[in-house]
Chains A and B, each alone.
Chain A
Amino acid sequence: MSLIFDADIAPASSLLRDGVTDKNNNEIIIVETSTPSLRVFNMSTKAQRGSNVTVLSSPAGVTLLTTASAVVISGTVTTYDLVELSSLTRQNYTGGNIAATIEKGQQIAGNTSLEIAFGTSSTAGNLVKFTNSFPTPVSIIQPPALSGSTATTIITKGSNWLIGTNRGQVLEINSSGIVLDILSIDNSPNIGASGLETPIVAGLSVANDFLAITTSQGLLYVYNWLTKTMLYKQPIGDSQSISGRGTVLCESSSGVTIFGNNKNVFDNNVAIELDFIQSPPQMRDILFTDSNGFVVASGINPNTAKAWILQQTVNKIRFFDVSARVTSTRNTRIESPAGTSVRGRIIRIIDNGVGNTQIELDSAIDNQTTNFPVSSGKSIIEIAMTDSGINEKFSVSQYNT
């Protein structure tokens, strides 16, 4: 069992909408639409710090912009809030956009080192860029590759961002909003391709070069981001409504993400710990809540191995302890001939002795050094393959981690 229930918080007079983990202060910052307010809770003691901060109407998303401030966006108004977190003072600003949807997290994501955040917009083609730079802290970015699409899901990826859209794409952008890379979700295999709904990205989580995607149509995909190779696809349950909602993921901790169903389900909703670096991806644990209410957002503090979900109907913040797989980093690349990096496939096998082996990793690899996490304390057999057919080449190595 790797997901252990810790405790609940039921913030009074609230309708939860989104949250963000402040790793440095071991806090969770949530926004709710009943008051509406922003509230800060300690993830260990569960105590609220300070009082509720009244924010703009219908808050749809919250993220850290700096280590000392948070941005709040709305599902109904174009203004946005900056909240100074130590004093819990709020300032409202004009110049934003209405967020793409409500009751689904991952609509705004910030990089506190760069002091930049990007948020979704209900206007097709728009991204909203928030900075700590005054007098013009906000701007509307319109990447050409986003033209005609609505950004529905945003997460950070190192110093860049990944933008999921309502046209089945994931774009990687830099801090200037320049599109660096694009992935188009492959709906194969399928029957009746022309009649299939275009996937709407609802959740994203990235770890090393692995990307987990969930859609409003109720599918979970795992891709190798560098090679754009689909590694896994399975049903995961659809959403309450199709307009941009769906199961959200959260930032990963060593390839582990947490999520719950984004609709009112039958009997009991769940919190799920997904390790999407393993092959195939493993739901390492499924925890049963006492409510059928839908989950709007989730998060992990990797510093403390504590995770949370926001569950409506009961309006609770639920905390869990997560026992992630212990991994170490291992740089890998394929050279053929020696000195020339090439694309290929890596298979790693955990060798526990004759008759007791299992696959840990099976992924495409790009023509560059790639860090694939590997389980610690194991004996590993690693197979590298490149080319195909009569030109297929193999290399085998064995090592202990």
Chain B
Amino acid sequence: MEDVISPFETALLTLDRLKANEILEETSGTWSPMEQVKHVVVPTLERIGSGWETGRIALTQVYMAGRICEELVEKILPREAPDRKRQPEMAITVLQDYHLLGKRIVLSALRASGYELKDYGRMDANELVQQTLVDQIEILFISALMLPSALKVASVKKQLDQSKSPVRIVVGGAPFRLDETLWKEVGADAMGWDPSDAVSLIGKFTGVSS
């Protein structure tokens, strides 16, 4: 697998869309689109995510790699394709602040991994709670760049608990990376250190691997 993943990673990090597309297409004779996602795209994004965590790869590379993967996967596995993973019901949002990059990166990683989820954009705590309940969301990804926004997760959690929602809350963003206890403090169920954690956390919550 390394002889596919390694050049695929290099193509993504050097923004060589053509090369990345070529590598993925070469596997189409062997694998179905969902298998291509599982064996090539997901492990590559995991490697890129780990690389960012260790300082080997920069955030702009993570973003562009995720975007390219999202485009490539959409070609082989369009949004309406029945093989797309629509369960569990998931949504992603930026809470309160206007810094959307983190959400965008995780959304790309999840869509590139074959998942479909709702993009709530930016929401305040009350509207997020209402929408989560209406849509019967099971896993809610919340991104926050500012500490006050991160602390508002506690209010979201409290209101959802009061409504007896079974939703699992996964948080991510700079404040959570700088204070490793913050996600527990605000009542989240998990924290993503890097974008690829979102995929593994879905597996953890559902008991189904990606």
Chain A complexes with chain B: no
Binding site for A on B (CB under 8 A): none
